[in-house]
Chains A and B, each alone.
Chain A
Amino acid sequence: MKKPFFRRKKSCPFSGPNAPIIDHKDVRLLSRFVSERGKIVPARISSVSAKKQRELARTIKRARYLALMPYSDGQK
């Protein structure tokens, strides 16, 4: 018998009762949503909701401006 394809439904990490606050000072949290190269991970991979992804992207860009996070992994 063919095994049916099953994928657990993912939920947004910023929704729900004790979801973390998206803050440009919280580099450790934000760094979970960027690739090794420093690029923002697409929402379809990180399963962040559309509304929160917009907020997250804006916040990451602020953290980059403050040089808390890199724009890229190029010249340091």
Chain B
Amino acid sequence: MAFYECIFLARPEISTAQVEAHTEAFSNLIIDAGGEVQKTEFWGLKTLAYRVKKNRKAHYVMLNLISSKEAIDEMRRLMSLNEDIMRDLTTRVDAFEDGPSIMMRKVKEREERNAQEGGRYASGRAPING
């Protein structure tokens, strides 16, 4: 058993519910093989840095898995066969980081900042009153 971090990109045309269904299917595969899903993060529909299979956006999902190599291999094989999954990157890590990953933290930070400086312009300039 080892720690794996798996990030995969799903086609932008499919719905969030479908993304969650795929994620659950992969999670169940790992659990059935005696593994464990430590954390699941949906990063949402993000703009890609370059086009992948003619798509400009993709659904990003991150899974933190504790599993055997065989189960991971099988999961990756099924991902490559799945037409809705465009790409996956599975890396072995020594330990999982605590709490939400940097991607989720960034979203939170932005929300907090927006809430704080509610009325400010994008440049950070405060609105002129009166």
Interface of B is mostly: strand
Question: Does A69 lie at the interface of the complex (its beta carbon under 8 Å from any beta carbon of B)?
Answer: yes
Interface of A is mostly: loop
> For this complex, into which size category does the number of interface residues on chain B fall?
10 to 19
B58 CB, nearest partner CB in chain A, Å: 7
Question: Does B128 lie at the interface of the complex (its beta carbon under 8 Å from any beta carbon of A)?
Answer: no
Q: Interface size of A by Cβ–Cβ distance < 8 Å?
A: 17
Question: How many pairs, one residue from A and one from B, have CB atoms within 8 Å of each other in the complex?
Answer: 37
| List of B residues within 8 angstroms of A64 by Cβ | 49
Question: Does B29 lie at the interface of the complex (its beta carbon under 8 Å from any beta carbon of A)?
Answer: no
| List of A residues within 8 angstroms of B87 by Cβ | 65-67
Question: Does B33 lie at the interface of the complex (its beta carbon under 8 Å from any beta carbon of A)?
Answer: no
Considering only residues 9-65 of chain A, those with a C-beta below 8 Å from chain B are: 21, 23-26, 28, 62, 64-65
Q: Which residues of B contact A (CB under 8 A)?
A: 7, 9, 48-52, 58, 60, 62, 87, 89, 91, 97, 101-103, 106
Q: Which residues of A contact B (CB under 8 A)?
A: 21, 23-26, 28, 62, 64-71, 75-76
